Amino acid sequence: MALLNTPGTSILQSGMLSETNELVHGFSTKLLGNMGRENKHSTQKIADITGFPQERIIRFHQIHGNRIVSINNTSTRIIEQCDGAVTASVGILLVITTADCAPVLFLDPCTKLVGIAHAGWRGTYKGIIATMITKMIEMGSKTEDICLVIGPHIAGCCYIVSAKRAKLFTSMCKDPLTVNKLDGKIHLDLGRAICEQAMKAGIQSSHIENTLTCTNCREDQFFSYRREQGKLSGKMIAYIGWKKE
Protein backbone atom coordinates (compact mmCIF):
# COMPACT_ATOMS: atom_id res chain seq x y z
CA MET A 1 0.00 0.00 0.00
CA ALA A 2 1.39 3.31 -1.04
CA LEU A 3 0.28 5.76 1.60
CA LEU A 4 2.06 9.01 0.85
CA ASN A 5 3.54 9.12 4.29
CA THR A 6 6.13 11.64 5.40
CA PRO A 7 7.25 11.65 9.05
CA GLY A 8 5.44 14.19 11.18
CA THR A 9 2.48 14.56 8.84
CA SER A 10 -1.03 15.03 10.16
CA ILE A 11 -2.74 13.62 7.02
CA LEU A 12 -1.89 10.41 5.15
CA GLN A 13 -2.97 9.94 1.55
CA SER A 14 -3.33 7.06 -0.86
CA GLY A 15 -1.08 7.04 -3.91
CA MET A 16 -3.87 5.51 -5.99
CA LEU A 17 -6.49 8.14 -5.07
CA SER A 18 -4.01 10.99 -5.39
CA GLU A 19 -3.91 10.38 -9.16
CA THR A 20 -7.48 11.67 -9.55
CA ASN A 21 -7.87 15.41 -10.12
CA GLU A 22 -10.38 17.32 -7.96
CA LEU A 23 -10.62 14.43 -5.51
CA VAL A 24 -9.96 15.35 -1.87
CA HIS A 25 -9.19 12.53 0.54
CA GLY A 26 -7.13 11.67 3.58
CA PHE A 27 -6.63 9.81 6.83
CA SER A 28 -5.61 11.88 9.85
CA THR A 29 -2.91 10.92 12.32
CA LYS A 30 -2.95 11.88 16.00
CA LEU A 31 -0.89 14.94 15.09
CA LEU A 32 -4.17 16.52 13.93
CA GLY A 33 -5.56 15.98 17.44
CA ASN A 34 -8.80 14.36 18.52
CA MET A 35 -11.11 14.57 15.52
CA GLY A 36 -14.08 12.81 17.15
CA ARG A 37 -17.43 14.61 16.92
CA GLU A 38 -17.30 15.19 20.70
CA ASN A 39 -14.57 17.74 19.96
CA LYS A 40 -16.82 20.61 18.90
CA HIS A 41 -13.99 22.32 17.04
CA SER A 42 -13.26 19.25 14.90
CA THR A 43 -15.60 20.07 12.00
CA GLN A 44 -14.14 23.57 11.72
CA LYS A 45 -10.68 21.99 11.65
CA ILE A 46 -11.78 19.71 8.77
CA ALA A 47 -13.10 22.78 6.95
CA ASP A 48 -9.75 24.54 7.46
CA ILE A 49 -7.61 21.68 6.14
CA THR A 50 -9.84 20.66 3.21
CA GLY A 51 -11.41 23.94 2.09
CA PHE A 52 -14.96 22.53 2.27
CA PRO A 53 -17.44 24.77 4.13
CA GLN A 54 -18.74 23.32 7.43
CA GLU A 55 -22.29 23.00 6.08
CA ARG A 56 -21.03 20.70 3.31
CA ILE A 57 -19.15 18.37 5.68
CA ILE A 58 -21.23 15.25 6.38
CA ARG A 59 -20.56 13.29 9.57
CA PHE A 60 -22.15 10.16 11.02
CA HIS A 61 -23.54 8.74 14.21
CA GLN A 62 -21.68 5.45 13.72
CA ILE A 63 -23.13 2.26 15.19
CA HIS A 64 -20.99 -0.59 13.73
CA GLY A 65 -23.78 -1.48 11.30
CA ASN A 66 -23.88 -1.97 7.54
CA ARG A 67 -26.25 0.78 6.43
CA ILE A 68 -25.03 2.90 3.51
CA VAL A 69 -26.86 6.08 2.57
CA SER A 70 -26.74 8.16 -0.56
CA ILE A 71 -25.87 11.81 0.11
CA ASN A 72 -26.89 14.82 -1.96
CA ASN A 73 -27.02 18.58 -1.55
CA THR A 74 -30.12 18.43 0.65
CA SER A 75 -28.72 15.90 3.17
CA THR A 76 -28.40 16.84 6.83
CA ARG A 77 -24.90 17.37 8.26
CA ILE A 78 -25.19 14.48 10.72
CA ILE A 79 -26.52 11.16 9.45
CA GLU A 80 -28.02 9.12 12.28
CA GLN A 81 -27.24 5.43 12.82
CA CYS A 82 -25.12 4.99 9.78
CA ASP A 83 -21.63 3.68 8.97
CA GLY A 84 -21.21 4.51 5.34
CA ALA A 85 -22.23 6.83 2.55
CA VAL A 86 -21.86 7.40 -1.13
CA THR A 87 -22.23 10.52 -3.26
CA ALA A 88 -21.60 11.84 -6.74
CA SER A 89 -22.30 15.43 -5.71
CA VAL A 90 -19.49 17.93 -6.10
CA GLY A 91 -18.66 20.00 -3.03
CA ILE A 92 -19.68 17.48 -0.36
CA LEU A 93 -17.14 15.92 1.99
CA LEU A 94 -17.94 12.57 3.67
CA VAL A 95 -16.14 12.08 7.01
CA ILE A 96 -15.99 9.14 9.39
CA THR A 97 -14.01 8.66 12.61
CA THR A 98 -12.05 5.59 13.72
CA ALA A 99 -9.58 4.40 16.34
CA ASP A 100 -8.71 0.76 15.39
CA CYS A 101 -11.69 0.04 13.08
CA ALA A 102 -10.83 0.28 9.39
CA PRO A 103 -11.78 3.40 7.45
CA VAL A 104 -12.44 2.45 3.82
CA LEU A 105 -12.62 4.91 0.90
CA PHE A 106 -14.25 4.03 -2.42
CA LEU A 107 -13.89 5.67 -5.82
CA ASP A 108 -15.36 5.07 -9.23
CA PRO A 109 -13.62 7.56 -11.53
CA CYS A 110 -16.09 6.78 -14.36
CA THR A 111 -19.39 7.57 -12.60
CA LYS A 112 -17.62 9.96 -10.19
CA LEU A 113 -19.10 8.14 -7.24
CA VAL A 114 -17.15 8.35 -3.99
CA GLY A 115 -17.91 6.40 -0.84
CA ILE A 116 -16.74 5.94 2.71
CA ALA A 117 -17.29 3.17 5.24
CA HIS A 118 -16.46 2.56 8.88
CA ALA A 119 -15.58 -1.13 9.04
CA GLY A 120 -14.77 -2.72 12.37
CA TRP A 121 -15.27 -6.42 12.91
CA ARG A 122 -19.03 -6.03 13.32
CA GLY A 123 -19.56 -3.94 10.20
CA THR A 124 -17.26 -6.19 8.16
CA TYR A 125 -19.03 -9.30 9.41
CA LYS A 126 -22.38 -7.70 8.55
CA GLY A 127 -21.08 -7.10 5.03
CA ILE A 128 -20.69 -3.31 4.88
CA ILE A 129 -18.11 -3.57 2.08
CA ALA A 130 -20.35 -5.73 -0.12
CA THR A 131 -23.32 -3.47 0.70
CA MET A 132 -21.35 -0.43 -0.47
CA ILE A 133 -20.35 -2.10 -3.73
CA THR A 134 -23.97 -3.16 -4.37
CA LYS A 135 -25.09 0.42 -3.72
CA MET A 136 -22.50 1.83 -6.13
CA ILE A 137 -23.62 -0.65 -8.81
CA GLU A 138 -27.25 0.39 -8.27
CA MET A 139 -26.10 3.96 -8.81
CA GLY A 140 -24.44 3.09 -12.13
CA SER A 141 -20.94 1.81 -11.34
CA LYS A 142 -19.34 -1.22 -12.95
CA THR A 143 -17.37 -3.43 -10.55
CA GLU A 144 -14.28 -3.21 -12.76
CA ASP A 145 -14.15 0.56 -12.27
CA ILE A 146 -14.42 0.62 -8.46
CA CYS A 147 -11.26 1.21 -6.38
CA LEU A 148 -10.98 1.06 -2.62
CA VAL A 149 -8.43 2.04 -0.02
CA ILE A 150 -8.35 0.52 3.46
CA GLY A 151 -6.86 3.06 5.85
CA PRO A 152 -4.91 2.60 9.09
CA HIS A 153 -6.55 0.11 11.47
CA ILE A 154 -5.54 -2.40 14.11
CA ALA A 155 -3.65 -5.01 12.09
CA GLY A 156 -3.27 -8.74 12.44
CA CYS A 157 -0.15 -8.30 14.63
CA CYS A 158 -2.20 -6.81 17.47
CA TYR A 159 -5.85 -7.66 16.93
CA ILE A 160 -6.33 -10.52 19.38
CA VAL A 161 -9.90 -11.83 19.40
CA SER A 162 -11.98 -14.44 21.19
CA ALA A 163 -12.48 -17.92 19.73
CA LYS A 164 -16.14 -17.01 19.17
CA ARG A 165 -15.32 -13.94 17.09
CA ALA A 166 -12.59 -15.82 15.21
CA LYS A 167 -15.11 -18.50 14.27
CA LEU A 168 -17.39 -15.92 12.64
CA PHE A 169 -14.51 -14.96 10.38
CA THR A 170 -13.22 -18.46 9.63
CA SER A 171 -16.73 -19.40 8.54
CA MET A 172 -17.07 -16.27 6.38
CA CYS A 173 -13.56 -16.05 4.85
CA LYS A 174 -11.81 -18.53 2.58
CA ASP A 175 -8.38 -16.93 3.04
CA PRO A 176 -6.64 -19.05 5.70
CA LEU A 177 -4.46 -16.11 6.76
CA THR A 178 -7.42 -14.01 7.96
CA VAL A 179 -7.38 -15.75 11.34
CA ASN A 180 -4.00 -16.82 12.75
CA LYS A 181 -2.88 -18.53 15.93
CA LEU A 182 0.26 -17.00 17.43
CA ASP A 183 1.66 -17.82 20.88
CA GLY A 184 -1.63 -19.44 21.85
CA LYS A 185 -3.64 -16.34 20.94
CA ILE A 186 -6.00 -15.80 18.02
CA HIS A 187 -5.23 -12.85 15.73
CA LEU A 188 -7.74 -11.43 13.26
CA ASP A 189 -6.54 -9.66 10.11
CA LEU A 190 -9.45 -7.32 9.45
CA GLY A 191 -7.88 -5.77 6.35
CA ARG A 192 -7.58 -9.20 4.77
CA ALA A 193 -11.26 -9.93 5.49
CA ILE A 194 -12.22 -6.61 3.89
CA CYS A 195 -10.09 -7.37 0.80
CA GLU A 196 -11.73 -10.77 0.42
CA GLN A 197 -15.23 -9.31 0.73
CA ALA A 198 -14.41 -6.71 -1.92
CA MET A 199 -12.92 -9.27 -4.31
CA LYS A 200 -15.88 -11.60 -3.79
CA ALA A 201 -18.07 -8.67 -4.88
CA GLY A 202 -16.04 -8.42 -8.09
CA ILE A 203 -13.41 -5.77 -7.31
CA GLN A 204 -10.04 -6.36 -8.98
CA SER A 205 -7.18 -6.95 -6.53
CA SER A 206 -5.12 -4.29 -8.33
CA HIS A 207 -7.85 -1.76 -7.40
CA ILE A 208 -7.48 -2.40 -3.66
CA GLU A 209 -4.94 -0.70 -1.42
CA ASN A 210 -4.60 -2.07 2.10
CA THR A 211 -2.65 0.04 4.57
CA LEU A 212 -0.32 -2.21 6.47
CA THR A 213 0.39 0.28 9.23
CA CYS A 214 -1.15 -0.69 12.58
CA THR A 215 -2.94 1.77 14.88
CA ASN A 216 -2.01 -0.24 17.98
CA CYS A 217 1.72 -0.57 17.11
CA ARG A 218 2.21 3.02 15.98
CA GLU A 219 1.55 4.96 19.15
CA ASP A 220 3.47 7.89 17.64
CA GLN A 221 0.94 8.18 14.77
CA PHE A 222 -2.45 6.90 15.87
CA PHE A 223 -5.01 6.74 18.64
CA SER A 224 -5.95 3.15 19.46
CA TYR A 225 -9.00 1.97 21.36
CA ARG A 226 -7.29 -1.33 22.14
CA ARG A 227 -3.99 0.18 23.31
CA GLU A 228 -5.69 2.85 25.42
CA GLN A 229 -7.99 0.24 26.96
CA GLY A 230 -11.27 2.10 27.03
CA LYS A 231 -9.67 5.43 28.01
CA LEU A 232 -9.47 6.58 24.44
CA SER A 233 -7.88 10.02 24.18
CA GLY A 234 -8.86 10.70 20.59
CA LYS A 235 -10.06 9.49 17.21
CA MET A 236 -8.79 9.88 13.68
CA ILE A 237 -10.85 10.93 10.67
CA ALA A 238 -11.00 9.61 7.13
CA TYR A 239 -12.60 11.74 4.42
CA ILE A 240 -13.37 11.86 0.72
CA GLY A 241 -15.18 14.23 -1.62
CA TRP A 242 -15.04 16.19 -4.87
CA LYS A 243 -13.92 19.78 -4.53
CA LYS A 244 -15.74 22.50 -6.43
CA GLU A 245 -13.86 23.61 -9.52
Contact residue for Zn ion among 130, 157, 199, 232 (CB under 5 A): 157
Shortest Cβ 167–Zn ion spacing (Å) = 22
Q: Are 101 and 12 in contact (CB under 8 A)?
A: no
Min dist CB 155 to Zn ion, Å, is 5
By CB under 5 A, the residues from 196 to 215 that bind Zn ion are 214
Of 57 and 154, which CB lies nearer to Zn ion in the complex structure? 154
Site size toward Zn ion (CB under 5 A) is 6
**Residue 66 or 224 having the CB closest to Zn ion:** 224
CB of 218 to Zn ion, least distance (A): 8
Q: Which of 42, 216, 221, 224 binds Zn ion (CB under 5 A)?
A: 216
160 is a site residue for Zn ion (CB under 5 A): no
Write down the least CB distance from residue 102 to Zn ion, Å.
13
Chain residues that interact with Zn ion, rule: CB under 5 A: 155, 157-158, 214, 216-217
